[in-house]
Amino acid sequence: MFYTIRDRQMHSTVQPPAGMRPILAMHSELSPPVITQLHESLHAWGELGLSPGPITPDRVWCSVNRESGAALSFHFDNNSAPLPLSHIGLAQEMAAWFVLLDKWMETFVVIARARAVWSVQELAGALTFTSKPFLPIALLYMPPDNWERVAMALANAVGDGALRGGVQSDRHWA
């Protein structure tokens, strides 16, 4: 099953939602504005109190559409379904998400765009899980070996604190 959140509601389909492809096939279409939209899609899971499960390239599907924006879907095997978030919230999933996106997009963009979506406290929670013992094995063996780079950038962002002024989502530094 494929699960997607649209308009604050969970939707499921047996086949991939229309226009969605594995993120491995979409990585060349990732741009700073798309990264923000995908961050917002993952953030919606947390807002509903649901976990998308392990963030691995084989489970993440997305689409990029000029009119409707980027969308995110997760593939669940064996009749499984999203579970409620654990007591740590979306932190572990966020850490894996940042490492996954950093495989194709500059670290600065991934983290700068994340700062516009998540609070400093949420980013600090993700920092806790941005290390080998907590990341899915599939991400650790997928080149490049980038988890340390992501952890350092995330630590710097947390240290910088909240963004000042208005967020301009069409800029890669916002």
Taking only the tens of pLDDT, the chain with its 174 residues reads 999 999 999 999 999 998 999 999 998 899 999 999 999 999 999 999 999 999 999 999 999 987 778 999 999 998 899 999 999 999 999 999 999 999 999 999 999 999 999 999 999 999 999 999 999 999 999 999 999 999 999 999 999 988 765 544 444 444
Q: Parallel, antiparallel, or unpaired: how do β-strands 69-75 and 21-22 relate? A: unpaired
Predicted local distance difference test score (pLDDT) of residue 170: 44
Give me the pLDDT at residue 79, please. 84
Q: How far is CA 55 from each of CA 23, 58, 61, 173, rounded to the nearest angstrom? A: 11, 9, 11, 25
Distance, in Å, from the CA atom of 105 to the CA atom of 99, rounded to the nearest integer, reads: 10
Q: Is residue 60 part of a domain?
A: yes
Length of the chain: 174
Provide the residue range defining the domain that includes 144: 2-160
Total domains in the chain come to 1
**Residue spans of alpha helices (H) in 4-146:** 23-26, 32-47, 91-101, 107-115, 120-128, 137-140
Q: What is the pLDDT of residue 174?
A: 41
165 domain residue, yes or no: no
